[in-house]
């Protein structure tokens, strides 16, 4: 079955955007996934197609109205049955590879992209939205966050990456390590040499070196991930390690 992305946005022209190119674009043409962007404004009922209003309690900016969004969500979710409804927000659970894997394994995702100061809290709660953040920074809208979340999901769909990469060996794979560094030709560039072991043709040595590099990178760059890796390794020792 085709993995389906239904997007609620004030800027439907932003989709598929970069996802129409390269790996995701080819997969889109092969119908491994499908996308539909619905214009939130088309669900407004007044003459001016109003989707926002001033915040109760005062303060800067505008807030997206719950009544308009509720009708929009009803339309979007009915077109994508079984898919979780995600609201992208800096207040959400931070997107990580575990959540990406979960979303990619399901039927698809319905995504609400906020604008202005965000969305009325009541519709988030009434619709049981899964609140997801792209990271600890503030974007001007949910659309770039939707593109990056979809990109991460699409490359995990069956047949999309082919043999190009193993999701297990990549950063944030099953063992929660960062990946080892990569090198290609020339073997010496600006006086910098490729590590000798990679030229040796000795597969076991290469695998040992890569493993050590992956562990060192995780320990030094992301102590938080390293701690989680150690906990996981203690709970379920890896016979290959």
Query: Which of residues 68 and 214 has its CB atom nearest to ligand SAM in the complex?
Result: 68
137 belongs to the binding site for ligand SAM (CB under 6 A): yes
Contact status, residue 19 vs residue 25, Cβ threshold 8 Å: yes
Q: Could you tell me if 227 and 216 are in contact, meaning their C-beta atoms sit under 8 angstroms apart? A: no
55 is a site residue for ligand SAM (CB under 6 A):
no
Find where tokens 């979007």 sit: 76
Q: Rounded to whole angstroms, how far apart are CA atoms 206 and 229?
A: 22
CA 149 to chain centroid: 2
Residues in binding contact with ligand SAM, number by CB under 6 A: 20
Give 130 or 134: the residue with its C-beta nearer to ligand SAM. 134
Query: Least distance from C-beta 125 to ligand SAM, angstroms?
Result: 15
> CB under 6 A: which stretch of 16-24, 135-143, 216-224, 233-241 binds ligand SAM?
135-143
Three-state SS for 106?
coil
Nearer to ligand SAM, 131 or 215 (CB): 131
Of 139 and 157, which has the nearer Cβ to ligand SAM? 139
114 annotated as a binding-site residue: yes
The reply on whether position 140 binds ligand SAM by CB under 6 A is yes
The least distance separating ligand SAM from the CB of residue 74, rounded to whole angstroms, comes to 19
* Helical H segments across 80-222, by residue range: 97-105, 121-126, 143-154, 203-221
Report whether 200 contacts 206 (CB < 8 A). Answer: yes
Q: By CB under 6 A, what part of segment 86-125 binds ligand SAM?
A: 88-91, 113-115, 117-119
Contact 40, 8 (CB under 8 A): yes
- List, in sequence order, every residue forming a beta bridge with 98; answer none if it has no partner: none
Q: Which helix (H) or strand (E) holds 93?
A: strand 85-94
Q: CA 134 to CA 156: how far, in whole Å? A: 18
Interface region with ligand SAM, contact rule CB under 6 A, candidates 17-25, 45-53, 141-149, 176-184: 141-149
Binding positions for S-adenosyl-L-methionine: 114
Residues at the contact surface with ligand SAM, assessed by CB under 6 A: 88-91, 113-115, 117-119, 133-135, 137-142, 145
């Amino acid at each position: 079955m085709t993995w389906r992305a239904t997007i609620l946005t004030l800027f439907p022209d932003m989709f598929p955007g970069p996802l129409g190119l390269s790996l995701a674009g080819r997969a889109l043409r092969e119908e491994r996934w499908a996308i539909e962007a619905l214009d939130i404004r088309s669900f407004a009922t007044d003459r001016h197609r109003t989707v926002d209003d001033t915040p109760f309690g005062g303060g800067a900016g505008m807030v997206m109205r719950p009544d308009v969004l509720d009708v929009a969500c009803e339309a979007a979710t009915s077109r994508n049955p079984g898919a979780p409804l995600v609201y992208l927000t800096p207040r959400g659970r931070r997107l990580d590879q575990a959540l990406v894997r979960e979303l990619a394994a399901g039927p698809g995702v319905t995504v609400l992209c906020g604008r202005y100061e965000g969305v009325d809290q009541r519709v988030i709660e009434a619709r049981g939205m899964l609140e997801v953040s792209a990271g600890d920074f503030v974007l001007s809208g949910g659309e770039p966050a939707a593109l990056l979340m979809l990109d991460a999901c699409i490359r995990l769909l069956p047949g999309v990456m082919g043999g190009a990469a193993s999701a297990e060996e990549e950063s944030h794979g099953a063992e929660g390590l960062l990946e080892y560094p990569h090198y290609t030709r020339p073997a010496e560039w600006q006086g910098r040499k490729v590590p000798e072991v990679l030229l040796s043709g000795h597969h076991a040595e290469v695998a040992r070196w890569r493993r050590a590099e992956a562990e060192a990178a995780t320990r030094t760059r992301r102590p938080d991930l390293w701690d989680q890796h150690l906990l996981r390794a203690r709970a379920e020792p890896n016979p290959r390690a």
